[in-house]
Amino acid sequence: MSNFDTADVKRTLASIYYTSPEVMKQERELFLQTWQLAGHEKQIGKSGDFLTVTIFNQEFFLIHGSDGVVRCFANVCPHRGHRLVSECGNKSRITCPYHAWTFTHEGKLMGQKKTTTTELPGRNEIGLSEIPVSNIAGFLFINASGDAPPISDFAPGLCKQVEMGVPDIKNYALEDGPALGHSYECRANWKILIDNYLECHHCSTAHESFDDMMDIANSKFELYPNFTYQVAPTALKSETKAFPLDLEHDVTIGQFWFLFPNTVFGQFPGVPGFYASRFDPVSPDVTQRRTWSLTVAKDTDPEMSRRHKLRSEWSSNVVSQEDRKLCENVQRGMHQAAYDQGWYIVDPEAHGISEHAMRHFHQTYLKTLPEKKVS
């Protein structure tokens, strides 16, 4: 672990990495080869519960098996290629809507239409295509290529760090909606949203209410292989320009993680809870952020629901909108002839203004991109 990235790199990623369709073709392979956030185990808590997920144009579904195991399969029938399931729900078996081929929760073929003279492959020859599933504190991740190293090897220490940092997370309840206000589309490249997440150099300028609530000068980043961790204390004020804090019951020190390439999660100050977000590239200029939120199962105090509502409104209507505007303006800049490459601002002592965590992300990205040459 390193609190400060000592890479002797002064210039940021070139603008072409944020605008080129050819780069996005390479990134498609990167996303299919790495661990991607798919949902939370409490979405599929009972036998037969399933949810669907799409990574670029590749469709999958996770299902809670009758044996208690959560598995992930390609969402395509091996018979003729029809989609097997849509959205989410519960099924005692998986039946293709096209020709009624039926599969068990374990992906085994269990039924086909046939007569005594029908020629067809045997059931033991055909099954659903399964890919690996991993779990970080209840959040489910999948690897489309099937050959990524285990998350424990890819991001050593991450799972334990989250569980130690938020020891009650297993008792949190899954919220019905995006309570932290982070499910939205942004007209910017996905890496610009990650860049923005990994530095607070902009916070005092662009986030007045957030800056008033936080003690950013005392925030710290820790850099690890394929992930980062940030500790961000509040100013310990009950009344702030963002939303009120109960200093007895609420979280007063924020914790934020980034897992390469496109997942962020953490515990935001305020009512105890947790969120995880996946940044999905739609095009070089458009990203969709999808978020899952958790909160405590029971109110900590009589005023908790009011504070929770105020934080949600602030997150949706203020800080998210500020970040979206920032990222979209940066994306415009990436297309300008006068801009080719930026500069890192780094400071080993003042992490609140340093961009070394963003540089760490960029260096990991360049090392991992399937094709290294971009023109």
Could you list the residue range(s) of the whole structural domain that residue 287 is in? 11-31+157-368
Domain assignment present for residue 234? The answer is yes
Does residue 3 surpass a pLDDT of 80?
no
Residue 17: predicted pLDDT: 97
Tokens of 224: 């690890």
In angstroms, rounded to a whole number, what is the distance separating the alpha carbons of residues 20 and 16? 5
Residue 4: predicted pLDDT: 63
Radius of gyration of the chain (CA): 22
CATH of the domain at 309: 3.90.380.10
Averaged pLDDT for residues 30-48: 96
The strands making up 133-136's β-sheet, listed across from edge to edge, are 35-40, 139-143, 133-136
Cβ neighbourhood burial of 226 (10 Å; 0-12, 13-18, 19+): buried
Domain assignment present for residue 152? The answer is no
Q: Strands 173-174 and 139-143: what pairing?
A: unpaired
Q: How confident is the model at residue 117 (pLDDT cuts 50, 70, 90)?
A: low
Same domain, 101 and 194: no
Render pLDDT for 329-363 as a digit per residue (tens, 0 to 9). Answer: 999 999 999 999 999 999 999 999 999 999 999 99
Domain assignment present for residue 144? The answer is no
- The model's pTM is 0.94
Does residue 183 surpass a pLDDT of 90?
no
Which among 136, 166, 192 is the end of a domain? 136
In angstroms, rounded to a whole number, what is the distance separating the alpha carbons of residues 126 and 94? 14
Same domain, 89 and 161: no
Same domain, 85 and 176: no
Domain assignment present for residue 148? The answer is no
Does residue 56 surpass a pLDDT of 90?
yes
Total number of domains constituting the chain = 2
Domain assignment present for residue 17? The answer is yes
Three-state DSSP class for residue 226: coil
Q: How confident is the model at residue 368 (pLDDT cuts 50, 70, 90)?
A: very high
Of the candidates 292, 288, 149, the one whose C-alpha atom is nearest the C-alpha of residue 226 is 149
Same domain, 191 and 335: yes
Residue 121: predicted pLDDT: 72
Same domain, 208 and 88: no
What 3 state SS string does 15-30 have?
CHHHHCHHHHHHHHHH
Residue 111: predicted pLDDT: 81
Domain assignment present for residue 326? The answer is yes
**Residue type for position 118:** T
Q: What percent of the chain has pLDDT over 90?
A: 88
Same domain, 121 and 249: no
Averaged pLDDT for residues 31-59: 96
Three-state DSSP class for residue 328: helix
Domain assignment present for residue 308? The answer is yes
Averaged pLDDT for residues 259-288: 97
Residue 1: predicted pLDDT: 62
Domain assignment present for residue 77? The answer is yes
In angstroms, rounded to a whole number, what is the distance separating the alpha carbons of residues 264 and 198? 10
Q: Please enumerate in sequence order all residues whose Cβ is within 8 A of that of 114, keeping only pairs 6 or more positions apart, or say none.
A: 120
Does residue 257 surpass a pLDDT of 90?
yes
Same domain, 162 and 63: no
CATH of the domain at 94: 2.102.10.10
Same domain, 87 and 16: no
Paired with 263 in beta bridges are: 259, 278
Does residue 178 surpass a pLDDT of 60?
no
Beta strands in 106-226 (DSSP E): 109-111, 130-131, 133-136, 139-143, 173-174, 184-186, 220-224
Q: How confident is the model at residue 286 (pLDDT cuts 50, 70, 90)?
A: very high
Does residue 180 surpass a pLDDT of 50?
no
Beta strands in 144-191 (DSSP E): 173-174, 184-186
Same domain, 51 and 120: yes
Which among 75, 102, 136 is the end of a domain? 136
Averaged pLDDT for residues 204-217: 96
Instruction: Provide the sign of the torsion angle of the four alpha carbons 277, 278, 283, 284, taken in this order.
Output: positive
Find the range with the poorest average confidence among 110-119, 228-237, 240-249, 271-280: 110-119
Same domain, 166 and 249: yes
Tokens of 108: 């085994």
Render pLDDT for 159-175 as a digit per residue (tens, 0 to 9). Answer: 999 999 999 999 999 98
Residue 156: predicted pLDDT: 96
